[in-house]
Amino acid sequence: MARTKMIRRWRKNMDVTDDTEYVDMLTTLSEGSVRRNFNPYVDIEWDSPEFAVTPNDSRWVLPATDPIGGHPWYQAQPLQRQIEIGMWRQANVAKVGLHFENILIRGLMEYSFWVPNGSPEYRYCLHESVEECNHTLMFQEMVNRIGKDVPGMPRLLKWLQPLIPLAAGPLPIPFFFGVLAGEEPIDHTQKNVLREGKELHPIMERVMAIHVAEEARHISFAHQYLHKRVPHLRRRQRWLLSLFVPLTMRILCSAIIVPPRAFWKEFDIPRSVRKDLFFDAPESRKMLRDMFGDVRMLCTDTGLMNPIAKLMWKICKIDGPPSRYRSEPQREHLVAVA
Ligand SMILES: [Fe+2]
Ligand SMILES: [Fe+2]
């Protein structure tokens, strides 16, 4: 009896057709996907001479907005070494990104498998999957061209990842928070690099510009999806979710932003630098916190910020004020934060 009630509620949650505002938003996003989309082998001229990856190209030096790139230890290294580290780091971020998107695609497929006929969520989820497939193609091509055999995600997460997409069917709300935990840090970092305006390798520049443009829709969908459902959860479910969210944000963000063990070994980076970077120094703390302003806003708006949850955000070192609007740039001076 209880089980059938649960399944009935689960099915009802997937029926969105009576919410015209939500349906309109999905239609806008789907039409956006049709109007503005990219194909990695049409929109990137991989074989043109200026896209060639050549040795000693200083455009691979990490930008200052990258936590490693902004560190005095990195900046004091000889140029050649800065380039080597820069290439490895940028290739690995792309690899982690494509690993993450691979999981996301499988999750979207799992979720859309269950949505009822006529649901506009089916169409949007499929558009998003197509875009993510193109992103994984584009990121893998970039890794191959850079030519560093990077591992991507940390090993433990590689072992656990087959289970994550399975959650998207029965537990779509935690799944979509997981989606945000991957998309927000990547998007935030890429936007910061583009805003910084440093000269980048054309491959990096093009790939990031395409990614940022399409990711805006994906993030928007995840926010709207959660906005619609979270406020209607039962109290106990909401309370559990409020603790799950900061934890997931922190774990997935670290998997993306912190380079794997192979990186520290390969470049023999001092332990003190590693600690500074992730996340002992005030600069890196601020960077970590700034990535989640939009998620804090979402949690505040949907009733996921109770005193215990706030403590959890603090323990995970990602507490701070919520954004006032999505993608609000975090420009306050570091001294004020420190
Ligand atoms: Fe993507
Ligand atoms: Fe995405």
Scanning 115-232, the segments in alpha helix (DSSP H) are 120-146, 155-160, 164-167, 172-196, 202-229
Q: What is the pLDDT of residues 178-228, one digit of tens each?
A: 999 999 998 988 888 888 888 999 999 999 999 999 999 999 999 999 999
Domain that holds residue 76: 23-236+256-278
Q: Which of 13-17, 21-25, 243-247 has the lowest mean pLDDT?
A: 13-17
Q: Which ligand is nearest to the CA of 190?
A: 1
pLDDT of residue 335: 37
Please give the pLDDT value at position 1: 63
Query: Quick one: pLDDT at residue 67?
Result: 87
**DSSP code per residue over 44-107:** S-TTSGGG---TT-GGGSPPTTSTTTTSHHHHTS-HHHHHHHHHHHHHHHHHHHHHHHHHHHHH
In the chain, the number of structural domains is: 1
The sign of the dihedral angle between the CA atoms of 72, 77, 83, 85 is negative
Token readout for 294 is 């939009």
- Does any domain span residue 151? yes
Using the structure block, give the residue that is written with the tokens 């979710």: 241
**Alpha carbons 185 and 257: distance in angstroms, whole number:** 8
Residue range 300-325: mean pLDDT, rounded = 95
Taking the centre of ligand 2 as the mean of its atom positions, its distance from the CA of residue 190, in whole angstroms, is: 13
Please indicate, yes or no, if residue 296 is contained in any of the structural domains.
Answer: no
- Is residue 325 assigned to a domain? no
Q: At a CB cut-off of 8 Å and minimum separation 6, what does 216 contact? A: 187
Which ligand has an atom closest to residue 134 CA?
1
pLDDT at 11 over 50: yes
Q: Is residue 244 part of a domain?
A: no
Span from the CA of 102 to the centroid of ligand 1 (angstroms): 9
Q: How far apart are CA 277 and CA 330, in angstroms?
A: 19
Q: Which residues surround ligand 1, an ion (CB under 5 A)?
A: 101, 135
- pLDDT of residue 332 exceeding 60: no
Provide the CA 258 distance to its chain's centre, in angstroms.
Answer: 13
Q: Closest ligand to 179 CA? A: 2
In a domain, 266, yes or no: yes
Cα torsion 247, 277, 188, 293 to 10°: value is: 50
Tokens representing residue 163 in the block:
């289970």
Distance (Å) from CA 64 to ligand 1 centroid = 23
- Residue 241: its pLDDT value, please? 98
**Is position 204 within any domain?**
yes
Average the pLDDT over each of 157-161, 250-254, 260-264, 328-332 and give the range with the smallest value: 328-332
Q: What is the pLDDT of residue 328?
A: 80
pLDDT in tens, 117-160: 999 999 999 999 999 999 999 999 999 999 999 999 999 999 99
Can you give the pLDDT at residue 20?
A: 95
% the chain with pLDDT above 70:
97
18 within a domain of the structure (yes/no): no
Q: How far is the CA of 236 from the centre of ligand 2 (A)?
A: 30
The enclosing domain of 132 has a CATH number of 1.10.620.20
Whether residue 111 lies inside any domain: the answer is: yes
Which of 89-98, 260-269, 324-333 tops mean pLDDT? 89-98
How far is the centre of ligand 2, averaged over its atoms, from the C-alpha of 332 (Å)?
28
Residues 157 and 164: their CA atoms lie apart, in Å, by 10
Q: What is the pLDDT of residue 196?
A: 87
What value does the mean pLDDT take over residues 312-323? 95
